[in-house]
Amino acid sequence: MTREEQVGERFGRLVVVEEMEMKRRWQRRVLVRCDCGTEKGVRLTSLTSGNTKSCGCLQKELIALRGLVHGHTARKVITSEYAAWRAMLQRCLNARHRAWRNYGGRGITVCDRWRDFKNFLADMGHKPSPDHSLDRIDNNAGYSKENCKWSTSSEQNRNRRMTPTFLENIQRAQRQRAQQVRAMRQQGGGPVA
Ligand SMILES: [Zn+2]
């Protein structure tokens, strides 16, 4: 396999950025970028073997989650908040996520504090109900304690930002209207400016 072929390849949360200099013969090393933003060097074989799937953040999250769901805490509720947190990270940090274009792709970020699920849960608290989901108050600002709340889907729809397609449709209609007006003027009729 040539070196270039591995660049851009994904292993779990890690994407290969570039080949690194070998420290020992037969031990190819690559620089990888994790979905959480961390970059580090790893042995290529640890990726291809499936042993390494993140910079270490995945293990930390799982340990934190295990601590949280331990004991008498409502396991189901926490799983739901954890899912919301994971989905938020994916939308903002994983360029391969289907919704990334509308989040990470247009500069919507997750504050540093919320890269850790424990902090996210501490700031947001539990979902008031299963119908609630994570909502941003200002749709052009990122995910942080100040800009987020749990909302029901009907509350969210009320302040949903205009989608690019919707805006494009309005702009197209305005252009068509302007063309019609010009055409009418050229024919000597229609409204006079
Ligand atoms: Zn990571």
73: pLDDT strictly greater than 90: no
Which amino acid is present at 24? R
User: What pLDDT, on the 0 to 100 scale, is given for residue 172?
Assistant: 75
**What's the 149 CA to ligand 1 centre distance in angstroms?**
25
Between the CA of 19 and the centroid of ligand 1 the distance, in Å, is 19
The pLDDT value given to residue 27: 85
Task: Measure 101 CA to ligand 1 centroid, in angstroms.
Answer: 21
Q: How many CA atoms lie within 13 A of 94 on its CB side?
A: 17
Q: What is the pLDDT of residue 169?
A: 67
pLDDT band at 192 (very low <50, low <70, confident <90, very high): very low
Please identify which residue in the block is written with the tokens 């910079």.
55
What residues are neighbours of ligand 1 (ion), with CB under 5 Å? 34, 36, 38, 54-55, 57
User: What average pLDDT does range 98-123 have in this prediction?
Assistant: 90
**pTM for the predicted model, two decimal places:** 0.46
CB atoms within 10 A of CB 66: 9
